[in-house]
Amino acid sequence: MSAEPGPRLRGVRCGILTASDSVSKGQGADDSGRYLAETLQAEGAEVLARVVVPDDLETIARSLADMADSLRVDVVLTTGGSGVAPRDVTPEATLRVVERLMPGIPEAARIATAEKTPLAMLSRAVAGVRGRTLIVNMPGSPKAVREWMDVILPVLRHTVELLQEKRLEWGREHRP
C-alpha cells in the first residue's frame, strides 16, 4: 500500500493581491482572492498576505514589491486588472517590479482557457520573477481563476524550488 502524496505546496509562502476598485471600496466580495487563499492552503501553502487594492498602478506595484522584498513570499498571485478596460493596470504594475519575465505561464493558461471561452484572448496577464519571488497575474473572475489554477498549480512547486536553488536531480521525473 503506497502512501497518499502530501499537499503539493507544503512550505510554500504565498501572497495574494486582488486589484479591484469596487472590492477595495467594499462594494463587492473578493470571491477570486478567497478562492486562491482556500486553494493554496488546501495544497499546503502558507498565505502570509492577502490584500485588496484599487486599480492603481503605483499601489499595485508597491504592494507586489513589498510582498516580495519585505515578506519574502515565494509566490504572489494577483487577480483582477489584467484585461483591456482603461483602469486595468495590473500587468503594467507587475512589469515595473519584476526582473525577469516568465511568459510561458500566462501563455499556457490563455491557450488552455481559450478552449473554453474566446474571452481568454483578452487577457494581458504577465508573470515574472522579482528576486526569488514568482509573481503571476490572473483574471478577475472566479471561474477564470479556477481555470488558470488548474493550469499553473502543477508547476508552482518546481518553480519555487528552482528559484530557491534547490538541487534537483536530472533524469528523474519531475512531479508537480
Bin 171: left if φ > 0, else alpha if -120 < ψ < 50, else beta: left
Residue-by-residue DSSP string for 90-151: HHHHHHHH-SEE-THHHHHHHHHHHTT-GGGGG----EEEETTEEEEEE-SSHHHHHHHHHH
| Residue 172 included in any domain | no
Whether residue 3 lies inside any domain: the answer is no
Cα angle: 145, vertex 26, 35; to 5 degrees:
25
Within a domain: 1: no
pLDDT band at 4 (very low <50, low <70, confident <90, very high): very low
User: Looking at the predicted structure, is the pLDDT value of residue 171 above 70?
Assistant: no
Q: What is the pLDDT of residue 25?
A: 96
Q: For residue 173, is it within any domain?
A: no
Average pLDDT of the chain to the nearest whole number:
93
Distance CA 93, CA 68 (A): 14
Could you tell me the pTM of the whole model? Answer: 0.92
Instruction: Look at residue 59 and tell me whether its pLDDT is greater than 60.
Output: yes
3-state percent helix, strand, coil for the chain, nearest multiple of 5: 45, 20, 40
**Can you tell me the distance from the alpha carbon of 30 to that of 74, in angstroms, rounded to the nearest whole number?**
22
Does 41 fall in a domain? Answer: yes
The residue segments making up the domain with residue 50 are 13-163
Question: What's the confidence (pLDDT) of residue 167?
Answer: 73
99-150 pLDDT, tens digit each: 999 999 999 999 999 999 999 999 999 999 999 999 999 999 999 999 999 9
- Which CATH number belongs to the domain containing residue 29 in this structure? 3.40.980.10
Into how many domains does the chain fold?
1
Inside any domain, residue 128: yes
pLDDT of residue 134: 98
pLDDT of residue 7: 85
Nearest to 160 by CA among 38, 22, 40: 40
The answer to whether position 4 is within a domain reads no
Q: Quick one: cell of 155?
A: 508547476
Q: Does 175 map to a domain? A: no
